[in-house]
């Protein structure tokens, strides 16, 4: 069961790989660029999509995540506490009985006591997973750590202000439990190499669709831009690219 339902999603539509007669040499850190500012907005019966076309290259070809990946790229980590005979997951009952139990999120942040992580109105969308049985009855609530490496393409929306500055759009301010969006428009694209073991240079083009049901409601006639990065399987982050400024009407197809 996933940590939280995410009503914003992203889908890889197509990947094209370029054939080369001579093996190119690229850095092992992936590089991306947008293809001729290729960006468009389409509406359909299956949902609305903002589509961006990217060129990519990577020196060892380790791009993409498989559904079979369940360790480094798992959705979330269930936090555990040690006992004399093993370990148990931290649930909300444990939190109530051990409010001063310190949680170290292992991301460099300051460890905090469990009392910091409440699951009361407004419900915390990032650290508690509600467990339900086959009859949809809640049976437990577990403390989890969302895995930022679950995704490998990261897309931020910025809206333009009247003074020319830009403001990062934060979907967590719009979507609340149980329809949380803890990752915005971040998503996954699949493994692109035919043989990851060869660690061969890889380049090509991907067309990536960001699906959502509320683009017009959220952004209307606002001027926006996107900032995009990708990440390889070794967790190397690519360069960040910024799209042209656009409105939904200006890129509508």
pLDDT at 176: 65
In this structure, what token pair is assigned to residue 211? 């699906």
Query: Which tens digit of pLDDT belongs to each residue from 9-53?
Result: 445 554 555 555 567 789 999 999 998 778 889 876 667 889 999
Say if pTM beats, i.e. exceeds, 0.85: no
- pLDDT reading at 118 higher than 70: yes
Domains of the chain, first to last: 9-70+148-251 (2.60.40), 76-146 (no CATH)
Distance CA 253, CA 249 (A): 9
Query: Which tens digit of pLDDT belongs to each residue from 189-203?
Result: 999 988 888 889 999
């Amino acid at each position: 069961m996933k940590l939280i339902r995410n009503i914003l999603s992203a889908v890889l539509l197509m990947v094209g790989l370029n054939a080369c007669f001579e093996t190119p040499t690229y850095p092992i850190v992936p590089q991306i660029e947008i293809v001729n500012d290729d960006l468009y907005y389409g509406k359909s019966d299956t949902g609305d999509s903002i589509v961006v076309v990217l060129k990519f290259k990577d020196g060892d070809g380790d791009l993409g995540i498989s559904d079979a990946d369940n360790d480094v790229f798992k959705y979330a980590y269930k936090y555990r506490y040690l006992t004399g005979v093993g370990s148990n997951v931290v649930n909300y009952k444990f939190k109530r009985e051990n409010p001063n139990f310190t949680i170290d999120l292992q991301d460099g942040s300051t460890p905090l006591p469990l009392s910091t992580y409440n699951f009361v109105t407004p419900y915390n969308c990032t650290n508690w997973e509600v467990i339900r049985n086959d009859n949809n009855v809640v049976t437990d609530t577990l403390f989890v750590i969302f895995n930022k490496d679950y995704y490998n393409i990261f897309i931020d929306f910025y809206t333009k202000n009247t003074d020319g500055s830009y403001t990062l759009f934060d979907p967590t301010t719009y979507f609340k439990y149980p329809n949380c969006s803890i990752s915005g428009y971040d998503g996954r694209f699949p493994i692109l190499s035919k043989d990851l073991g060869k660690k061969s240079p890889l380049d090509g083009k991907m067309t990536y669709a960001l699906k959502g049901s509320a683009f017009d409601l959220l952004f209307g006639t606002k001027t926006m831009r996107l900032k995009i990065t990708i990440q390889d399987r070794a967790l190397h982050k690519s360069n960040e690219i910024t799209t042209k400024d656009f409105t939904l009407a200006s890129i509508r197809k």
